[in-house]
Amino acid sequence: MDTIQKLVSGFSLDLGPLKEPLGFIRVLEWVFAIFAFAATGGYSGTTHFTVNCATPKETKDVNPVFGYPFRLSAYPYNIPSCNGSPPNVTYLQGDFSSSAEFFVCVGVFGFLYCTATLILYLGYQNMYRQTSRGPIIDLVVTAIFAFLWLVSSSAWGKGLTDVKWATNPNHLVESCMEFCQPGEFPSMGRLNASVTFGFLNLILWAGNCWFIYKETPFHKDPNPPATMEEGGVPGP
């Protein structure tokens, strides 16, 4: 209870850090993390091909649906038959959930960390800079997130390539080439954007390490103020 009271009493809103690279880049990280995990986690798409029956002569549409977390083998779809028999139940092939869920997890935790540090920057700036522990921890965690963005974005980029192949209408009609014709490709623009945002996050988090490093005691001022011992001349 005393700790909560100290935190509440010690809060002092100061928007000044947002004008500095340290705070401004953190806001960009916060926004881009939302775009990255939201574009992936909320995705749902449809691929398409047609079944052309000679007797009776008609065309039947098939629209397999898939979405996050891209465990495609869990999405069944029906291929209609031309002889009046029941449709064949078929499943999309592949499980790419590990890379997609890892990417979303990094994005969500990055968003939460940005939220916490922005509260620290804007409300407890004196506490943040009072000791060297705060900037050092911030530097280590930011560097870890930069590495995680590299790994997760690379993994999800490869996973997205596999998802595109597994949902490609040209691939889906291979088993019924005589009767099937590929249709429209699923829209992947949103997923392409998610990978782009992932690598943009990598650049932001890696670049922000430099500005956080300048807040740590490891960074030495290249132009330290002159002192009496160093021969400095006191002002009037």
**Per-residue model confidence as pLDDT tens digits over 161-172:** 999 999 999 888
Indicate the angle between helix axes 133-166 and 189-213, nearest 10 degrees.
160
**Per-residue model confidence as pLDDT tens digits over 119-177:** 988 887 777 777 778 788 999 999 999 999 999 999 999 999 999 999 999 888 887 76
Q: What pLDDT sits at residue 99?
A: 95
Strands (E), the chain: 44-46, 49-53, 58-62, 65-67, 76-79, 88-91, 180-182
Instruction: Report which of 161, 149, 169, 166 is spatially closest to residue 191, judged by C-alpha positions.
Output: 161
Instruction: Report which of 37, 38, 52, 77 is spatially closest to residue 186, judged by C-alpha positions.
Output: 77
What is residue 72's three-state secondary structure?
Answer: helix
What average pLDDT is seen over the chain? 84
Lowest mean pLDDT among 18-22, 38-42, 200-204, 216-220: 216-220
Do 62 and 49 form a contact (C-beta atoms < 8 A)? Answer: yes
**Per-residue model confidence as pLDDT tens digits over 169-224:** 988 888 776 678 888 899 999 999 999 999 999 999 999 999 888 878 776 555 55
- Residue 15 confidence (pLDDT) above 60: yes
**DSSP label at 85?**
S
Q: What is the C-alpha to C-alpha distance for residues 85 and 91, in angstroms, rounded to an integer? A: 19
Q: What is the C-alpha to C-alpha distance for residues 25 and 21, in angstroms, rounded to an integer? A: 6
Q: What pLDDT sits at residue 85?
A: 73
**Per-residue model confidence as pLDDT tens digits over 49-63:** 888 877 767 788 888
